Amino acid sequence: MGHVIRCLALGEELLARGHRVTLLGDVGGVDWVEAQFRERGIEQRDAPADPDELAALADRLGLDAVVLDGYLLDPGCGSRLRAGGVTVLAVSDGPFGADQEADVVLDQNLGAAVDPGRAATSLAGLDYVLFRDQVLRRRRDPASPTPEGDPPRVLTVFGGTDPYAAGPVVVPLLLATGLALHVVCVAARPEIAERLRALETGPGQTVEVVAPVEDLAALAVTCDLAVTAAGSSVWEFLCLGVPAGLVCVTDNQAVGYDAVAARGVAGPVGLLSALRDDPGARAAAVEELRRLVEDPTVRRELTERGQRLVDGRGRRRVADALEHHSHPRPPSTMRSA
């Protein structure tokens, strides 16, 4: 889902510049995501897996540029598209997805380093994070005081589908802090919602289970803390000014998780695999969550560091680079997929 959302963010920027945008790919049948593309007038088509077929489709559609974002894409896609005269922007996360030939390469993670030999233009780091309009509109003013909830409101969200069922593992650790708090749990699937509603709460604790929302940023800014997977949503919370505790859910999130923890811009809660059944990891997670929930000074420091790192103008810089390399037609008629 993170791939889809960041492509949508770049699509919004390109649309605002007068370009035509087409989505080639599958969004997993997630209704609220499909609705966001429809509302923006972005046509969706299936993406052929074969590089030759993809290049042929790009030719039929008259595409000037193609953005490749996915770890399982055939590594020959970039070279085949470029051979057909199409500008290619390849998005990667560390080594994941970094095998495409491209004109522009992008790794929007903290501390990222892109091999300059891979492409004419390399974009690396948080200066290039892609944010949707919804996030940019909700960004808190760094100069304004942040209201504190009583008890603190904690948002938990683990991706658009929570494929590894992280919510039922992490929310009990929040409750195990024993602190008074109101947990707002985004439950991606009915079976997850059922497990979360069945959790026992302590004094002053409440659990509110909600379905995935189209405007997550609007919900996030009503909360004092977010506990989330260490994927691309982390950068959204940093941009919004919502302090976060991170759970490393999958292997491809490890680089970003370690970098964020090392820079002290989010609280390291732990690795999901360990949090399931390792008593030591679970105890450490409870202590970290207790620190984040009970100390507003810690949360304010995380907010300040995060907003200094992420200015929200990344998609402009990426679109500038893409336009710079796309010359077959005037910019007003450039089509991107």
Do 81 and 183 have their domain in common? no
CATH number at residue 296: 3.40.50.2000
First to last CA, the chain: 17
Do 116 and 64 have their domain in common? yes
Do 157 and 55 have their domain in common? no
pLDDT of residue 141: 82
Average pLDDT, integer, range 294-298: 95
Three-state SS at 302: helix
Do 138 and 127 have their domain in common? no
State how far the Cα of 1 lies from the Cα of 30, in Å rounded to an integer.
9
In the predicted structure, residue 131 carries a pLDDT above the cut 80: yes
Do 78 and 168 have their domain in common? no
Number of domains in the chain: 2
State how far the Cα of 168 lies from the Cα of 178, in Å rounded to an integer.
17
Do 123 and 144 have their domain in common? no
Do 22 and 102 have their domain in common? yes
State how far the Cα of 217 lies from the Cα of 222, in Å rounded to an integer.
9
pLDDT of residue 163: 85
pLDDT band at 103 (very low <50, low <70, confident <90, very high): very high
In contact, 27 and 300? CB cutoff 8 Å: no
Do 180 and 300 have their domain in common? yes
Tokens of 275: 């949090």
Segment 184-226, tens digit of pLDDT: 999 989 999 999 999 999 999 999 999 988 889 999 999 999 9
Segment 17-51, tens digit of pLDDT: 999 999 999 887 778 788 889 889 999 999 999 99
Do 145 and 284 have their domain in common? yes
In the predicted structure, residue 332 carries a pLDDT above the cut 50: no
State how far the Cα of 154 lies from the Cα of 292, in Å rounded to an integer.
10
Do 118 and 145 have their domain in common? no
In the predicted structure, residue 132 carries a pLDDT above the cut 90: yes
Computed over every residue of the chain, the mean pLDDT equals 91
Q: Give the structural domain span for 125.
A: 2-131+312-336
Do 118 and 37 have their domain in common? yes
In the predicted structure, residue 295 carries a pLDDT above the cut 50: yes
In the predicted structure, residue 114 carries a pLDDT above the cut 80: no
CATH number at residue 87: 3.40.50.11190
Do 102 and 190 have their domain in common? no
Look at 191 and 120; give whichever has higher pLDDT. Answer: 191
- Tell me the pTM: 0.81
